[in-house]
Structure 1
Amino acid sequence: MKHLYALVLMALLGASSFCCYAQAPAPLVSGNFQDLSVEAFARRIEAQTPYRFFFDSVAVRGVRLTVQAQGQPLASVLQQALGPTALRFAIDEEHNVFLTAGAAVPTALPDGYFQGAPGAPGAPGAVASSAPATGPGAPAATARGTDAPARLYEIGPASAAGTGRATLAGHIREAKSGEPVLGAAVYVVSPAIGATTDQFGYYSLTLPVGPHVLNIRGIGIKNTQRRIVLRADGQLDVEVAEDITALKEVLVEAEKDKNVAGMQMGLERLDIKTLRQVPTAFGEIDVLRVVMLLPGVKTIGEGSTGISVRGGATDQNLILFNDATIYNPSHLFGFFSAFNSDLLKSVELYKSAIPARYGGRISSVLDIATRDGNNKQFAGTGGIGLLTSHLTLEGPLAKGKSSFIIGGRTSYSDWLLHTLPSQALRQSAASFYDVSAHITHQFNANNTVYATGYLSHDRFKLAADTAYAYDNRAASLKWKHIFGNKLYGVLTGTASQYQYRITNDKIPVNASALTFGIGQVGLQADFSYFHNATHTVEFGGSTLRYRTAPGTLAPLGSASLILPDALAHEQAQESALYVSDQLNLTPRLAVYLGLRYSLYQALGPRDVAQYAPGEPPSPGGARDTLHYGAGAAVATYHGPEYRVSVRYALADNASVKASYNRTRQYISQLSNTATVSPTDIWKLSDAYIRPQVGDQVALGYYHNFKHNTIETSVETYYKAVHDFVDYKSGASLLLNHHLETDLVNAEGKAYGVELSIKKITGKINGWLSYTYARSLVRVNPGTPAERINGGNYYPSNFDKPHDVTLVGNYRFSRRFSTSLNFNYSTGRPITLPLATYVIGGAERVYYSDRNAYRVPDFYRVDFALNIEGGHKVKRLARSSWTVSVYNLTGRKNPYSVYFKSVDGKISGYQLSLFGQPIPSVTYNFKF
């Protein structure tokens, strides 16, 4: 009965099609087409007929067509024109023309489909599964197995067959592990409609009902096709195989033009393969070290993971780990990053055109996401180095439904310190550990929960004197709910905490402990609505609760004479709503419009000093004190944040993009040192310290060459920063009960140009970039006493005008490859003592203008040799060795420059952390 119904239905559809064609005969073509490119030929035909052409511009490149026609059907004209070429054509009933190389694409159901045995593996036209229902409760068909490409997938019940459009949605996952595939292109050729999977592997396509060939392409996966019949809204999950041939550097067609065709500018994406190729100190794969090699990103100093993005301060970067904020992303004062690369799935750095869903920082967003873990089988990875080791385990909790991944790292560097000739170093100790865990559970096709936990601990003690210890903790819990094929939402709760403790017990009477802490909890709701292939809307809201313990000093031991001191705790609330709309107005023109509105309130209990009207806050200048009770609003700030981007495609391989961003930052990191230190403190905006506001405009040109295997780009930007927090000369930041007396709100500006060229495939690949950038600050308040450098602009601590970076990889064979980094940059600014003078019998030091001089220029060369184990697909475990040399030339790059007075004479000194080549050997394994 089912087959009889289908036959009757097809007969009616065929009759209606016949009637339509009888009423409207196929258009005829006339003209003299002489030596035309395929693009020009198609435009001529489209101008005189209702036909629309679809083809791959790379496949038709170089093809010239010549033909004469006078009132002939298009099929006849194409047979004559394409005869001498390798191109084939297909025309469907909607006057769509598909030109392909080799074989014509099918435009209708295959012959014998209804006569085949339904469900027979491998049989032509076999129906693998269907999703007959619509709406959020519809079950998802899953395309898996070796015979999946030969099957036909029915989406929606046969009774729903008709005309119009329907929405197909689902997930793309790796067949071996069940991991979602990020950034895969999911598309159909006729009509040309496509989408890209998000971080959950989710896609949504609105297509005409009827037969389609669904194409899936992406990095690290095999090109995949699924034949479908779309009758109504439904879901189709597709499992794709890992691309083992990626060892041969096969180019992924779906990814190669994102540099040009993508809407986003100022975005840098790093995959795990890139991270593992770049040589780093002590052989440890380091996310932040690789980020520092990107255009527009600069290191603050050797051995520091504080980064400056487009001239911004280190605290102006929002660092997220599965949506939870990480306040200190480093271990051992910056020698190692805080993230275990074995767990990572994606690393994205937004330098401009920051999406509206992000807020809280004015320079950049570094969004780091972990893998979900293998939900099919147990697996593990690990590595053993000279100073550190790491191990990661993953596997299913409920096969196909739940998975876990957990990884840990630890260091054992004390043995190395104990072998050094210096007695002070032999008495030192340094170590760290971190643990990351992630669990995923899918309740059903529409509800999935993700839980992440992270903790780290560092300790460092130099010569039995001062001991440093600091901890990071972060957690996130997500619930993803699919409301329908066009709408899904994610509800996220996060918690983050950072604290440090500095103890000094060498001299009992001065023994003390200094502590600081900051924490936040937040809730965020994000929704994505896929109206159609050219129109996507995102909206949502968030709220954060901050709480800081700005500093506590306590005596250690009964003999200590240190007096206890503690700053009052601070708390604040930051909330925001946002909406964004991405529209492809034409095939060449696309726009992104976003608006975020944020509200911040500093909350009591708090005592606020009152100073004389019109006078700046000064020590001893308080006239009164106002007390605010618990929960009372001490200060309120709010305002809009605009996000606008435009992309115009000049050609298939060239585009121009422009963007404007306004961002607001309500929390600042205070430090009177250029390099990031564990003693830096975070300060909430209050009645005197206003939030930072950043405005950035950017313009970029992007051009790909040689079939998109070489990417080039030029981006220029200008950024203005209002109420940047700077400090007065001689400021005291630790345990200062009235910080407003030592801080000033400054104005900043940064501008520059970034040039980049990337070769993304082949035995030789990598990138070369040059950045010219300036970062300037001006402190020009109403009173001359507070002005710095006479109220003129001066270089910020992050002003390094010239930067050149080369990252190159060469693969000798499948097993052997080498990597080399070169980095040069201008030395950072510094303030120097120029002379001494005597006033009232006391000797004083006369300093230069703020940041008037520079430390020596920075350059470094790193080298690594990677040796892979055998590449047999079926083997119990795989292993590899990495032999690397960090700072190959032994350059003594300055970590800090300081001055001492010895016998009445002031002398300058330079501290270099890596003053000689550092070799390392690391053994990695995977099972």
Structure 2
Amino acid sequence: MRPIAWVVAGLVVAAGSRTAGAAGPSPPVPKNLCEKPGVCGRIDGVVRAAGSRTAMADVAVIAVPASSRRLPARADPASDRPAWIREVRTANDGSLTLVTPPGLVRLVIVAPGFDRFEAVIEVPRGGSAATQLFPRPLESNPYRTVVKTASEPTRAPSVAGRTLSREEIATLPGTQGDPLRALQNLPGVARTPGGLGLLVLRGANPNQSLVFVGEHPVPRAFHVLSLASVVPADVIDRIDFTPGNFDSRYGNATGGVVVIETRRGRRDGVHGFAKVDLTATGAMLEGPLGKRGGSFIVGGQRGYIDGVLLAAQKLLGEQDFLLPRYYDYQAMIEHPLRGGGTITARVIGSGDRLRLRRDGELAFDFRSDFHRADVVLRKRAGLWRLMVSPAFRYEIGRREVPAQMAVQHRRDYVSSLRAEAARELSQRFMLVFGADLQVDAFSARTLLQADSGVPGETMAQDATGTETWLGAYTTAHLRLGPLLLTPGVRAAGFVVGKATAFAIDPRLNGRLEVGERWSFRFGVGLYSQPRVSRYAADGRLVPGGARLGSDNLIVPTFFSNFEPLIVFQPLEDTLRVARALQASATAQHDFLAGYTAELTGFWREQNNGTPAQVLGQVLPGSRTRNYGLELLLRKPLTRRLYGWVAYTLMRSQLFTEARGPLPATRFTADFDQRHNLALIASYKLPRGWQVGGRFRLVSGTPYTPILGAVQYEGSFQAISGSYNSARFPPFHQLDLRVDKRWTLRRASVNAYLDVQNVYNRTNVEAYIYNYDFSSAAGGIGLPIFPSIGLRVDF
């Protein structure tokens, strides 16, 4: 018998005995206790964590005789001096087989991170007893994987890489457990007004950043109005979040990139969850596939806030609400290949619809959907690691305004391919080669009221075209003691119709470890993105000028980016390449108490690639400059507490060149947000309770003010001030969240209350002027908003 079994059994007996001081040591185990056939019985069991049903491997299970089924052991006098003791350790799948004398047997499990577990079962003579044992975790935590920015070996180190656990994302106040909304609380990410689902990274326009799911980009990261991400947190393995200085693997962006990697399904049985709250419901199922190690995940969610608002509209009478509705789905299969390697197949999709009804009639209807299928093949060939991934995406956008007899829609058929090879030439040197291709074949149509004035007569415009970009890249990983350097270069070509453009972007990232607690990261490089002027029909609720109607409503430019354009034929001779020079450096210190501190400085100078003329109109060249500091003080997730203080100090400016009669000018850029402070903390209480809060204080976004008006032919025309010369008032808001979790044997139940804007702060997100622009009222953002939800994991 192993000595540890005697130690554990002694502790079990000592803790459970009322007369331990007089009991003395336990007698030795008789060697011939179960040698005769048919005398003893057998226990066949499986040990799984309560709630998640995760198999517990290499856990010691102690068996002693029991005089009754009463629990706990301290109430059982027979445990004072057990006649025998058995011990076994579980296999990788949590299974165990234990031979014991017949009768009542007490099983005891004392495992790190779990409550002491006991169970009494009856073992038949010469037979077997099957059982499943469910120790309860000390901290109920169903979030099994980590969402982080840690790079794979073939990827360059991120200058501002940061890690968020899935539990932090799931319980972050004010985000409803959404992964990309959680990222909006990190340094370098601007707060978007009205809760819009936009990623403004270090002052870059949202359209200058990309979001990848796996090896290929998706057209958008959020559902309309930022109700949720298009990929839920439960299917995510990690998020590579890089607000700037990303490596040469990615192109066609001059801002930042977010790479979402989906995870493989669990193999220890069929698992899943179902959830419901005031805005949406969702479910997921995962489990093993085949006998060779494959797995699957299927899931989806459906938002129905339009139904909630319709009910409110009926109660409130004449109120008109924007009615958003959305859905998304995911299906993933991963399977090992003969001879090594894996193949992963994914199908993801997302759809949004936004309607406005007035007087019972449809006034506006906007729809946007995409569906994507991709395959990833990974395999080793000698010293090479190879990856090939083709994908196909179908997109459709549609906008209808019945009163104007206007219908606009566009379809895109996007084929893409990525291939990559990496080889370690030595322990200190590795090379990565890769290429990516995307071909977007689109068709568009618009139906409008004909100029003839005949009621019901329409005119149609049709357009087709192809947009292509091709990139080839290489990155070297060179380790020189504590210094890791990753120089790289990317060559890209862009084709729109018959026009072509090219760019070569060298980049360098690095990391230096100084001792055990200090590290420095740095990066510098060029980044390119095509820019083309187009004939276009604006499908957005808010036009690009960020004004509605007769200039009576002013909103931040953010609002003009939350919906796509219904785009038509690109104009000739307008393809240009916008190029940005990015530089950043980060110093990080890890404190003994587990806290970390990061300070990052960044600079981004972009030539916006403006064509000299569009349709005969002279356009001045322009460039954008963003620079600032980011501070992050953080307590990573521990047994009970996590939180951080994130502060960004940033300046964003727009410069236009002198051209013809137009002088050179300098303005505050649209996405300038001077100060952005976020304070976040969450604490676990006993009995499954958890409370957290988030406080944000942000500078107001810039806008172009109206200084007055002149009367002309019975109406008033506004007189505007200098571009972006005014700001909306500062924003501040407190959000609170309370979670309560019940851990059952085979499932866990979580109920939560997430309250945004607890003290009902009136944050101005727009200005609404009266008819003659003599006075204005502030259009407020989200009032106090409680969300109640329930989730069951099994």
Closer, same or farther in 2 for the Cα pair 1:323/1:257, shift >3 Å?
closer
After superposition, give the CA deviation of every residue in 1:806-827 in whole Å (9 maximum; x if it has no partner): 1211112361111211111111
SS at match of 2:522: strand
Q: How does 1:322-471 map to 2 (within 5 A)?
A: 322-417=214-309, 418-420=311-313, 421-425=315-319, 429-463=323-357, 464-471=362-369
Compared with structure 1, are the counterparts of its residues 743 and 247 closer, same or farther at alpha carbon in structure 2 (3 Å cutoff)? farther
Give the direction of change, closer, same or farther, for the CA distance of 1:245–1:812 in structure 2 (3 Å limit): closer
Alpha-carbon separation, structure 1, partners of 2:666 and 2:196: 26
Counterpart CA distance in 1 for 2:210 and 2:578 is 14
What CA deviation, in whole Å up to 9, does each residue of 1:84-129 have, x standing for no partner?
Answer: xxxxxxxxxxxxxxxxxxxxxxxxxxxxxxxxxxxxxxxxxxxxxx
- Aligned partner of 1:665 in structure 2 is 529
- Displacement after TM superposition at 1:526 (Å): 1.2
What corresponds to 1:64 in structure 2? none
Per the alignment, residue 779 of structure 2 pairs with 911
CA distance in 1: counterparts of 2:92 and 2:700, whole angstroms: 49
Distance in 1 (alpha carbons) for counterparts of 2:181 and 2:252: 24
Q: Do the aligned residues in 1 keep the contact of 2:251 with 2:528 (CA within 8 Å)?
A: yes
2:585 corresponds to 1:699? yes
| CA offset digits 1:254-308 (Å, max 9, x no partner) | x9999xxx94312233332221011236xx3222211111100013312201121
Once residues 575 and 294 of structure 2 are traced to their aligned partners in structure 1, the CA distance between those partners, rounded to angstroms, is 47
2:215 and 2:418 in contact (8 A); partners too: no
In structure 2, the partner of 1:750 is: 626
Q: Alignment identity in percent?
A: 19
Is 1:530–2:432 an aligned residue pair? no
Question: Given that residues 57 and 93 in structure 2 are in contact (C-alpha distance below 8 angstroms), is that contact kept between their aligned partners in structure 1?
Answer: no
Helix, strand or coil for the counterpart of 1:462? strand
**Pair 456,742 (structure 1): closer, same or farther in 2 beyond 3 Å:** farther
User: For residue 639 of structure 1, what is the amino acid of its counterpart?
Assistant: A
Distance 1:320 1:592 in 2: 22
Once residues 340 and 727 of structure 2 are traced to their aligned partners in structure 1, the CA distance between those partners, rounded to angstroms, is 57
Trace 1:484-495 onto structure 2 (pairs within 5 A). 484=382, 486-495=383-392
Alignment of 1:1-20 (within 5 A): none
User: How do 1:97-496 and structure 2 match up within 5 A?
Assistant: 146=58, 263-280=157-174, 284-417=176-309, 418-420=311-313, 421-425=315-319, 429-463=323-357, 464-484=362-382, 486-496=383-393
Relative to structure 1, the CA distance from residue 840 to residue 922 in structure 2 (aligned partners, 3 Å threshold; closer, same or farther) is closer
Shift of 1:893: 2.4
- What is the alpha-carbon distance in structure 2 between the residues aligned to residue 816 and residue 427 of structure 1? 36
- Superposed displacement of residue 840, structure 1: 9.2
The verdict on how the C-alpha distance between 1:398 and 1:248 changes in structure 2, with shifts beyond 3 A counting, is closer
Distance 2:196 2:322 in 1: 20
* From 514, 520, 523, the counterpart of 1:650: 514
Change (3 A) 1:381 1:679: same
In structure 2, the CA distance between the partners of 1:689 and 1:742, relative to structure 1 (3 Å rule), is farther
- Counterpart of 1:926? 793
Task: Tell me the TM-score normalised to structure 1 length.
Answer: 0.63
Deviations 1:429-485, CA, capped at 9 Å, x for gaps: 43221111111122224232111111122222222311222212222211112113x
Offset at residue 249 of structure 1 (A): 14
**Partner Cα distance (1:713, 1:330) in 2:** 28
**1:880 aligned residue:** 750
Post-superposition offset of 1:426: 6.5
Query: How many residues are treated as equivalent by the alignment?
Result: 633
For the residues of structure 2 that align with 1:900 and 1:453, how far apart are their CA atoms? 50
Gaps of 5+ in 2: 1-55, 61-90, 95-112, 115-134, 539-543, 547-556
Displacement of 1:857 after TM fit? Answer: 1.3
Whether the aligned pair in 2 keeps the contact of 1:755 and 1:769 (CA below 8 Å) is yes
Q: CA deviation at 1:346?
A: 1.1
- TM-superposition CA deviations, 1:378-410 (whole Å, max 9, x none): 111121112211100112221343221111101
* Alignment partners' CA distance in 2, 1:795 and 1:530: 47
Among 676, 681, 698, the alignment partner of 1:825 is: 698
Q: With CA pairs under 8 Å and 6+ residues apart, which has the higher RCO, 1 or 2? A: 2
Cα distance in structure 1, aligned partners of 2:222 and 2:612: 25
Q: Distance in 2 between matches of 1:376 and 1:885?
A: 36
Query: Is the 2:295–2:333 contact (alpha carbons within 8 Å) kept by the matching residues of 1?
Result: yes
Residue by residue, what CA displacement relative to the aligned partner does 1:159-217 show, whole Å, maximum 9, x if unpaired? xxxxxxxxxxxxxxx9669xxxxxxxxxxxxxxxxxxxxxxxxxxxxxxxxxxxxxxxx
Q: In structure 2, what is the equivalent of residue 169 of structure 1?
A: none
Matched residue, 2:434: 540
Matches of 1:743 and 1:269, distance apart in 2: 43
Matched, 1:856 2:741: no
Deviation per CA, 1:297-339: give whole Å up to 9, x if none.
0133122011210110010111111223221222233233222
Q: Supply the distance in 2 between the matched residues of 1:740 and 1:345 (Cα, whole angstroms).
A: 51
Query: Is the 2:621–2:657 Cα contact (8 Å) retained in structure 1?
Result: no
Provide structure 1 residue ranges, at least 5 long, that are not aligned to the other structure: 1-143, 149-173, 178-219, 222-241, 604-633, 729-737
Question: Where does residue 217 of structure 1 map in the other structure?
Answer: none
Instruction: Say if 2:417 is the partner of 1:516.
Output: no
**In angstroms, what is the RMSD of aligned CA positions?**
3.5
2:123 match = none
The equivalent position to 2:684 in structure 1, one of 800, 808, 811, is 811
Mapped to 1, the partners of 2:150 and 2:336 lie a distance apart of 33
Question: Scaled by the length of structure 2, what TM-score is found?
Answer: 0.73
Amino acid at match of 1:921: I
- Which residue identity lines up with residue 475 of structure 1 in the other structure? A
Task: Name the residue aligned to 2:655.
Answer: 778
CA drift of 1:774 comes to 0.9
Query: For residue 510 of structure 2, what is the amino acid of its counterpart?
Result: V
Contact 1:478 1:492 in 2 (8 A): yes
